Copies of this chain bind each other. A is one copy, B any other.
Amino acid sequence: MQEISEERFIDIPEEVIDIYSLWRPTPLIRAQRLEKLLGTPARIYYKYEGTSPAGSHKPNTAIPQAWYNASEGIKKVVTETGAGQWGCSLAFACSLFGLDCEVWQVRTSYDQKPYRKLMMQTWGAKVHPSPSSLTDAGRRILQEDPSTPGSLGIAISEAVEVAATHADTKYCLGSVLNHVLLHQTVIGEECLKQLGKLDETPDIIIGCTGGGSNFAGLTFPFIREKLKNRLNPIIKAVESAACPSLTKGIYAYDFGDTAGMTPLMKMHTLGHDFIPDPIHAGGLRYHGMAPLVSHIYELGLIEAVAIPQTECFEAALQFARTEGVIPAPEPAHAIAATIREALHCKETGEAKVILMALCGHGHFDLASYEKFLEGSMKDLSYTDETREKVKVSLAKIPQIAS
């Protein structure tokens, strides 16, 4: 019901607020040492979501999703995960409400990043490498290629199949959908109050975008204020140059998963069969953008920019060495865009207020930092050639007039 609700506000259940209070409100911090390093007159603030037990903003939606399921008598939820941020958050949430949790994790991540898997298991979840022999979808793919590395699309198919064939089991998703973005707006609502106490008004708000939930979480409440003419910030989405759904994608109906099992969604898409290059920001490797974020981009309420990963890691290093927090590769994109804006302010002499979403820490991404420090990280970019292929792929999908 939340997915299609027309209500402007939906109360957060008491039990969810109670769990949130373990780490919320999250800190809003002025990056004074970064400002000094850059020599900018800008004032930079970051809203840090990495203090949650799972280390990112994802528990903001995992907790209500688990609670709603538990309170309606569901015994088990299933999901897929890539690098593991979302799987960890759902495992954590389920442990608090006594729900069974089963996660299909893309096999390459399952094998290469054992810590995220161990975190899920510590919270009591069952984790399967995907494809697995537990589902028809998994068995079919294993028969074709027993050594397949797996993909998010395959993992979704397996989790959805299990939910579809078990009455007491539901499927959960960690981004893209309307109700997920709704749950994340707790970030922006808190931030409005925190900035108010500091008597600060943001001129620019910056967040990274994969599926769109972190970005929407911080910015949607500010967009409400903007539409009411109470604030007038420039709002900027930052995506990976290797997976630029907003800046290079096509606005069209497309599937949410690779296999084409989900309902069609109108969104900026690189094509549901597009496989992004293996960049280090796993959370930004999604072919589509949340329909709500896509919609406001079309309305001109937000801007978007795509940044290659080496600039992001350079920015992340500057941030870690001045502000302390080692950021995940995803918010490193927001940091890179923030530094661009701050250096622009240095040129113009403007003392703008920049607000940035720092959606998680990089404790489990240190191997990526190693690659960058060694100098062996490469930039991977989306090409126009690929874009032509998307058009062909989308031409097969029935488009509905908006």
Chain A contact residues, CB within 8 Å of chain B: 19, 22-23, 27, 29, 33, 51-55, 92, 95-96, 114-115, 118-119, 121-124, 317, 320-326, 363-364, 366-367, 369-370, 373
B324, A122: Cβ atoms closer than 8 Å? no
Q: What are the residues of chain B within 8 A of A55 when measuring CB–CB?
A: 363
Of the candidates B23, B118, B366, which one forms a contact with A366 in the assembled complex, judged by CB atoms under 8 Å apart? B118
Query: How far does the alpha carbon of A118 sit from the alpha carbon of B369 in the complex, in Å?
Result: 7
Of the candidates B96, B320, B367, which one forms a contact with A123 in the assembled complex, judged by CB atoms under 8 Å apart? B320
A118, B370: Cβ atoms closer than 8 Å? yes
Of the candidates B95, B363, B364, which one forms a contact with A320 in the assembled complex, judged by CB atoms under 8 Å apart? B95
A366, B320: Cβ atoms closer than 8 Å? no
A369, closest chain B residue (CB): B122
Task: Check A53/B366 contact, CB under 8 A, given A29-B22, A121-B373, A122-B373.
Answer: no
Q: What are the residues of chain B within 8 A of A33 when measuring CB–CB?
A: 96
Q: What are the residues of chain B within 8 A of A23 when measuring CB–CB?
A: 27, 324
Known: A95-B321, A115-B366, A119-B366. 5 other contacts (CB 8 A): A19-B324, A52-B324, A53-B324, A54-B324, A122-B366
Query: How far does the alpha carbon of A317 sit from the alpha carbon of B123 in the complex, in Å?
Result: 8
Jot down 29 A-B pairs with beta carbons below 8 A, ordered by A: A22-B29, A33-B96, A51-B51, A52-B324, A53-B320, A53-B324, A53-B325, A53-B326, A54-B324, A55-B363, A92-B324, A95-B320, A95-B322, A96-B322, A96-B324, A119-B326, A119-B366, A121-B369, A121-B370, A121-B373, A122-B317, A122-B320, A122-B326, A122-B366, A122-B369, A123-B320, A123-B321, A123-B326, A363-B363
Query: How far does the alpha carbon of A367 sit from the alpha carbon of B113 in the complex, in Å?
Result: 12
Query: How far does the alpha carbon of A51 sit from the alpha carbon of B320 in the complex, in Å?
Result: 15
A363, B122: Cβ atoms closer than 8 Å? no
Instruction: Give the residue among A22, A51, A363 with the most B Cβ atoms within 10 A.
Output: A22
Main secondary structure, interface of A, reads helix
Q: What are the residues of chain B within 8 A of A322 when measuring CB–CB?
A: 95-96
Q: What are the residues of chain B within 8 A of A118 when measuring CB–CB?
A: 366-367, 369-370, 373
Q: How far is the CB of A367 from chain B (nearest CB, A)?
A: 7
Q: What are the residues of chain B within 8 A of A369 when measuring CB–CB?
A: 118, 121-122
The 7 closest A-B pairs by CB, nearest first: A53-B324, A118-B366, A95-B321, A363-B363, A115-B366, A122-B369, A53-B325
Q: What are the residues of chain B within 8 A of A95 when measuring CB–CB?
A: 320-322, 324
A115, B324: Cβ atoms closer than 8 Å? no
Q: How far is the CB of A280 from chain B (nearest CB, A)?
A: 13
Q: How far is the CB of A54 from chain B (nearest CB, A)?
A: 8
Query: How far does the alpha carbon of A320 sit from the alpha carbon of B122 in the complex, in Å?
Result: 7
Query: How far does the alpha carbon of A114 sit from the alpha carbon of B371 in the complex, in Å?
Result: 13
Instruction: Give the residue among A52, A121, A321, A367 with the most B Cβ atoms within 10 A.
Output: A321
Instruction: Give the residue among A22, A92, A114, A324 with the most B Cβ atoms within 10 A.
Output: A324
Query: How far does the alpha carbon of A106 sit from the alpha carbon of B330 in the complex, in Å?
Result: 32
Of the candidates B22, B124, B323, B363, which one forms a contact with A323 in the assembled complex, judged by CB atoms under 8 Å apart? B22
Q: What are the residues of chain B within 8 A of A114 when measuring CB–CB?
A: 366-367, 370
A59, closest chain B residue (CB): B324
A31, closest chain B residue (CB): B22
A364, closest chain B residue (CB): B363
Query: How far does the alpha carbon of A84 sit from the alpha carbon of B30 in the complex, in Å?
Result: 28
